[in-house]
């Protein structure tokens, strides 16, 4: 429930907990009186100060992502992620944190399998508008994952990171002992044919060692699986796929759509790696 998720949030100014109850309709109020408005779409903005140096996904990028994900092309991935995460969310008071929740698509799949308490963090308010509609029972929070997370120590059973930044120190702090970090990354050759057609930035592959390295010795790999999804994409879908990623920040959508149209449908393969980490040192 939203109330239970809010109970584990911490004020980013003073670290106190927030009041739960009717006040949430208008915003969150901490025990020391720091107040954060609720957006009318239902998410909360806890980012204070100057904002962030990171470039948030735009409304157009979020719409492209939504159309692509709603098309079901990555359904095998959301099923696999939900199956894995569900294994670690079997207690009735379990809590899942989706870091970089985007439009809330993968978190939705998890919550359909296990309707537990959940927090979604993202830096893009456009993404969270959608996430708040898809997952209204989730505490959807505008936040920068590179800052200390506004979440209590040792309060989370599963952290989900699907193509989003990884703040290992903070992930380790907020996980409960025995908690799991579930990470989805692209493998070498991910969408290579589609990238060739649209000039998408070639996707930086996250080799296993690189992934482990980025977790800074805070986590040990427990399980890893590969998932390949063959796709045949029409030009409109291809353009959405390109635009929902980093290309969306610097490419003109009309030009991208024209490029995608040249040559008809494209066959390509999405190549993912899904890894589960537990707290503790990596064996050297
Ligand atoms: C590639 S999208 C993935 C979104 C979602 N997990 C999905 O797979 O549909 C990356 C997401 O991370 C968010 N993001 C990027 N940098 C961030 C940061 N520093 N803090 C919070 N969110 C961030 C973006 O706004 C975007 O929604
Ligand atoms: Zn406070």
| DSSP-H helix ranges across 52-191 | 59-70, 75-87, 105-113, 125-134, 168-174
Beta bridge partners of 67: none
**Mutual angle of helices 125-134 and 59-70, in 10-degree steps:** 40
- 24-38, 45-59, 226-240, 249-263, range with greatest mean pLDDT: 226-240
CA 240 vs. chain centroid, Å, equals: 18
Residue 51 assigned as binding residue: no
Please identify every residue whose CB atom is under 5 Å from ligand 2, which is an ion.
11, 13-14, 16, 30, 32, 34
**Residue to probe by mutation, ligand 1, list 68, 105, 123, 249, most atoms within 8 Å of CB:** 123
Average pLDDT over residues 209-224: 84
Q: How far is the CA of 98 from the centre of ligand 2 (A)?
A: 23
Pocket-forming residues, ligand 1, beta carbon under 6 Å: 54, 56-57, 65, 100-103, 105-106, 121-124, 127, 144-146, 162-165
Least trusted range by pLDDT, from 73-87, 131-145, 191-205: 191-205
CATH class held by domain 52-279: alpha beta
Q: How confident is the model at residue 211 (pLDDT cuts 50, 70, 90)?
A: confident
Cα 189 from Cα 229, distance rounded (Å)? 12
Q: What percent of the chain has pLDDT over 90?
A: 65
Q: How far is the CA of 279 from the centre of ligand 2 (A)?
A: 29
Cα 48 from Cα 199, distance rounded (Å)? 37
pLDDT at 207 over 90: no
- Closest ligand to Cα 13: 2
pLDDT, one tens digit per residue, over 176-194 is 999 999 999 999 889 888 8
Q: Whose CA is closest to atom 7 on ligand 1? A: 102
Work out whether strand 117-122 and strand 156-162 pair parallel, antiparallel, or are unpaired.
unpaired
Q: What is the pLDDT of residue 270?
A: 95
Residue 104 assigned as binding residue: yes
Q: What single DSSP character describes residue 20?
A: -
pLDDT at 52 over 90: no
Both structure tokens of 197: 């057609």
Specify the length of the chain in residues. 284
Q: How far is the CA of 183 from the centre of ligand 1 (A)?
A: 13
Residue 216 assigned as binding residue: no
- Closest ligand to Cα 201: 1
Q: What is the pLDDT of residue 239?
A: 87
Beta bridge partners of 118: 96
pLDDT, one tens digit per residue, over 152-163 is 999 999 999 999
Residue 105 assigned as binding residue: no
Least trusted range by pLDDT, from 21-30, 119-128, 217-226, 266-275: 21-30
pLDDT at 56 over 90: no
Cα 195 from Cα 269, distance rounded (Å)? 11
- Encode 208-229: b = buried (16+ Cβ within 10 Å), e = exposed: eeebbeebeebbebeeeeebeb
Q: Average per-residue pLDDT in the chain? A: 89
Task: Please state the domain extents for the chain.
Answer: 52-279
Q: What is the CA radius of gyration of the chain?
A: 19
């Amino acid at each position: 429930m939203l109330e239970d998720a809010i109970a584990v949030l911490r004020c980013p100014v003073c670290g106190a907990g927030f009041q739960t109850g009717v006040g949430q309709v208008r915003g969150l109020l901490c025990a020391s009186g720091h107040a954060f408005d609720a957006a009318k779409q239902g998410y909360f903005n806890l980012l204070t100060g100057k904002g962030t140096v990171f470039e948030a996904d735009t409304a157009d990028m979020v719409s492209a992502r939504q159309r692509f994900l709603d098309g079901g092309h990555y359904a095998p991935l959301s099923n696999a992620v939900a199956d894995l995460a569900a294994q670690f969310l079997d207690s009735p008071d379990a809590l899942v944190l989706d870091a970089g929740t985007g439009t809330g698509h993968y978190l939705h799949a998890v919550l359909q399998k296990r309707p537990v308490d959940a927090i979604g963090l993202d830096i893009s308010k456009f993404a969270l508008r959608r996430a708040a509609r898809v997952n209204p029972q989730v505490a959807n929070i505008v936040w920068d994952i590179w800052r200390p997370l506004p979440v209590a120590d040792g309060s989370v059973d599963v952290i989900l990171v699907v193509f989003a930044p990884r703040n290992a120190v903070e992930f380790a702090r907020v996980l409960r002992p025995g908690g799991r970090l579930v990470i989805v990354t692209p493998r070498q050759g991910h969408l290579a044919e589609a990238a060739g057609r649209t000039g998408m930035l070639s996707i930086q592959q996250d080799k296993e060692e690189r992934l482990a390295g980025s977790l800074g010795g805070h986590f040990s790999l427990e399980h890893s699986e590969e998932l390949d999804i063959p796709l045949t994409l029409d030009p409109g879908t291809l353009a959405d796929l390109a635009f929902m990623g980093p290309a969306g920040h610097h490419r003109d959508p009309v030009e991208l759509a024209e490029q995608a149209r040249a040559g008809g449908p494209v066959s390509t393969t999405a190549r993912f790696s899904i890894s589960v980490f537990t707290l503790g040192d990596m064996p050297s």
